[in-house]
A and B are shown apart, each in its own frame.
Chain A
Amino acid sequence: MQPSSNLSAPRTTARRALVAVAAGTLVLGAAACGSSSDTGSGGGTGGAAAGGDTVGIALITKDSTNPFFVAMQKGAQAEAAKNNVDLTIASGAKDGDEQGQVQAIENAIAAGDKGILITPNGPGVNASIKKARDAGLFVIALDTPPDPADTVDITFATDNFKAGELIGQWANKTLAGKKATIALLDLFNDKVVSVDYNRDQGFLTGMGIDTKDKQKNGDEDKTGTYAGGDYAIACNEPTQGSEDGGRTAMENCLTNTPDINVVYTINEPAAVGAYNALKAAGKEKNAIIVSVDGGCAGVKSVKDGIIGATAQQYPLKMATLGMEAIAKIARGGEKPTTSEGLDFFNTGVALVTDKPVDGVESITSDAASKICWG
């Protein structure tokens, strides 16, 4: 359960990487400075801070460009003062940069922080997380559980499989028994990430289609029956989670299969791209588009009728709840526990649509626009 938007840009470019490196260095530098003074004043005690004391927490995101993480950082910053938290923000140079995160973790340990909130970029940070926990820091993964999940104390994340299931159920009911010709516009096809298969396979499960291996996109039968009738899967295409990627992917799907009427998209920018491809082909009325994310732009697309339904997630909540949890523990409180039936703390997901169907709970785009991110 990576963020969606990472979706937006995981294949980030060298240009971004460099920027992030530069920015990261500055942030880290600042963090290091701030921290040493921290340990000087309050540190040295080593034990839990007394109630009301300032608690040092580091928020380490995958990158600082993806709107999803930017929302997370801003949300945490806004809430930090309220909880009397001294928040340090750092990130990898780009999505996938483990080394940058390792340095940020080391800085947090050196700074005497009480806890770390991290969206891990990969297994390369596991050893450093362990070091941090050995040093007494409480580590919470946000959005993306590490592998193995017990590397961290707990994960606060969106249930991406559930998010996919919701839009699948909605598509199933909306089709009302018609034959489904499905385009699956995924994130990648050159690497396997959990958000990608969880959403895709969740969607198919919601439609009532047997996905076989739930951690593998594209291994399901290409034709068969879903809950309401017959289905055919027209394509699995990668979009990189961007508008232009979504458009090109949809164009290629339509060339092979002109009568596609259900379009699953990994995130909302890809959905907008798919819509533009359908529109250029004069087919935007024939197909329903579903997506995941709930960014403000995506919610607006639902209102405009471009996206039929989207599943909204809450990055701000991940960051603020995570921060509150660490502050509480540092002041002697209880540790958070995982949600029932899951191996993480579920920060929730809601179906956003203006065409609600029976049996699938949803909120309107107006309601969603009040709690959207980005």
Chain B
Amino acid sequence: MTAGTSAAAAELARRRHSPLQRVQHLLHGYPWISPLVILVLTMVVFTIVNPRFSNPSALSLLIQQTAVIACLAIGQTLIILTAGIDLSVGAIVILSMMVMAKLAVENGVPAPLALLIGIALGVGAGALNGLLVTRVNLPPFIVTLGTLSIFTAIALLYSGSKSFQNNELPDLLNWTGTSFPVGPFRLTVGVVIVLVLYAIVGFALSQTAWGQHVYAVGDDPEAARLAGIASKRVLLSVYVVAGLVYGIGAWVLIGRAGAASPNAITDANLQSITAVVIGGTSLFGGRGRLIGTLIGALIVQAFYVGLSLARVDQQYRLLAVGVLVIVAVAIDQWIRKVKS
């Protein structure tokens, strides 16, 4: 078969589909396209309303403000890809963060060690969630609902609800907040760390056997098991990796907030889930791209900044985000009906 005939065949196949079906197919193959379109539209509209919105300095802030939630949403994406959900993400981050800070400030632990212990705690917390899901066979919703309380309680008991400000913290813990110019933009070390995490986890998901297994387990754990995939081990690994990401997210948060405070990121759980859902990842597992999550997180923050610059009541942001969530899930359902 020559290239010519196969192209003709493809052309013929395309003609058999209506334009709508073609969109459906396109979105099926690239689920992050719809959030990208929404992000671009959002930015265009807000720029028209207030041109300051697309100033390099404003865009730099938008990226910095999104970094923490975008980071946590990496772990959330992994778990949602396996048809799970993580309600304990905020609690794990706070716990990791308070441990890092308190060890370094009050117990005189060297900063690198305090950081590593904090991140390790994130990994351990993720592993606990994963073990409860895979070994005790509890639903992820219930497991993380329980550990949400447990981790929060431990963090508050351990820290005594006390916060540590950046002038008390060692430089290493504050390092993620250091900013530097990139052309007209200003990024922070934390932003770079988050982007690197996206690159690494995105690569692992799309290019490695582990990534294929994550999708397979999310799509149909039983079929994956029959295909010879160690479903439970894959599932456990997903929670462990998510815990690692949360631990690193705690470090990024310290730099961003300029403090380690148990009152930080009060809406992390819902915000990370929102970013994942708007980013086109299916709550039913097995479908979605990590890049979509990053776009989803940016959309939510763009609404916040844009409405603030437009001096519009912030309640419209809630309204808009709510509509976007519903639309995103509706599109997901529609795409799933695609005829292969």
Contact = CB atoms under 8 A, between A and B. Distances in A.
Contacts of B186: 280
Interface in A1-20: 8-9, 11-16, 18-19
A297 B163 contact: yes
Interface stretch (A64-72, A135-143, A312-320, A347-355): A64-72
Interface in A243-297: 243-244, 247-248, 251-252, 255-256, 269, 272-273, 275-276, 280, 297
Interface residues of B, number: 53
Interface residues on A, range: 35 or more
B258 A15 contact: no
Interface string B140-162: 00000100110111001000111
Contact of B52 (A66, A67, A255, A301): A255
Contacts of A238: 314
B56 to A, nearest CB: 11
A22 interface: yes
Contact of B65 (A12, A18, A248, A272): A248
A18 B167 contact: no
A188 B268 CA distance: 18
Contacts of A240: 263, 266
Contacts of A374: 162
B258 to A, nearest CB: 4
A252 B309 CA distance: 7
Most buried by A among B264, B265, B311: B264
A57 to B, nearest CB: 23
Given A18-B149, A19-B153, A272-B258, A255 B55 contact: yes
Contacts of B305: 252, 255
A247 B269 CA distance: 20
Given A14-B87, A190-B315, 16 more contacts: A11-B266, A13-B268, A15-B87, A15-B269, A18-B152, A23-B153, A240-B266, A242-B261, A243-B259, A251-B61, A252-B304, A255-B57, A255-B61, A255-B309, A273-B258, A297-B162
Q: Which 7 A-B pairs have the closest CB atoms?
A: A276-B258, A18-B149, A244-B257, A15-B152, A243-B259, A9-B263, A15-B148
Interface of B: 50, 52, 55, 57-58, 61, 64-65, 68, 87-88, 90-91, 145, 148-149, 151-153, 156, 160-163, 165-167, 177, 179, 186, 253, 256-259, 261-269, 304-305, 308-309, 311, 313-315, 318
13 contacts: A13-B90, A13-B268, A15-B152, A18-B152, A19-B152, A65-B262, A190-B314, A190-B315, A240-B266, A243-B163, A251-B61, A255-B52, A269-B263
Interface of A: 8-9, 11-16, 18-19, 22-23, 65-67, 70, 189-190, 235, 237-238, 240-244, 247-248, 251-252, 255-256, 269, 272-273, 275-276, 280, 297, 300-301, 304, 374
